[in-house]
Amino acid sequence: MQMGVSEESEDLKLLFIQEELDQHGEWLCDVLSEEIEKKRLMQSRLLQESLGYSQFSQGNNPGLRVKFFSYGRAFEIAGYRKKRQNKWNVNTNRMIWGVKERRYKSKNTQWYAKNMYGGQNRLISRIMYGLSDAEIARLKGILEERKMK
């Protein structure tokens, strides 16, 4: 009898984590899409339309995979590197002759890292503290329906 209870609790935990990953994937794609649009990082909507997520499992360990065109991530990396290089760029001739340097306002291209890694804490807290008694009862109903089929 004890073996069945343990197996049922493991199934409950796995189902809960899979549902949380699914909700987080939808939330993350929405947030990333909003950031791309807000920062106007597209010439067409191809980058936004390429956003997607899928779940995977390695053994009993579920995971979430976020997919999009790789040039979108390259925007962010190139923008970060450009900011770091410009930080130490000194043009001595311009300083001596008093010529003003043209300052082009660079585009804020951070759309992925801030949201992806910032959202991880949100996901962790939802998984750690979200399994309430009401949620357990709902998940048990889902598992019983699956067994009936």
- DSSP letters, 30-96, are HHHHHHHHHTT--SSSHHHHH-EEEEEEETTEEEEEEE--HHHHHHHHHHHHHHHHHHT---HHHHH
Q: Give this prediction's pTM.
A: 0.68
Beta bridge partners of 55: 64
- What is residue 16's predicted lDDT score, i.e. its pLDDT? 92
Handedness of CA 120, 72, 85, 89 (dihedral sign): negative
- What is residue 110's predicted lDDT score, i.e. its pLDDT? 72
- What is residue 2's predicted lDDT score, i.e. its pLDDT? 46
Successive 10-residue mean pLDDT values, the chain, 149 residues: 66 91 93 84 74 89 87 62 54 65 60 83 89 87 85
Handedness of CA 65, 22, 113, 43 (dihedral sign): positive
- What is residue 23's predicted lDDT score, i.e. its pLDDT? 94
Q: Residue 79's closest CA among 105, 46, 100, 101?
A: 105
d(CA 104, CA 62): 45
CB 40 within 8 A of CB 139: no
- What is residue 105's predicted lDDT score, i.e. its pLDDT? 56
CB 14 within 8 A of CB 60: yes
- What is residue 113's predicted lDDT score, i.e. its pLDDT? 78
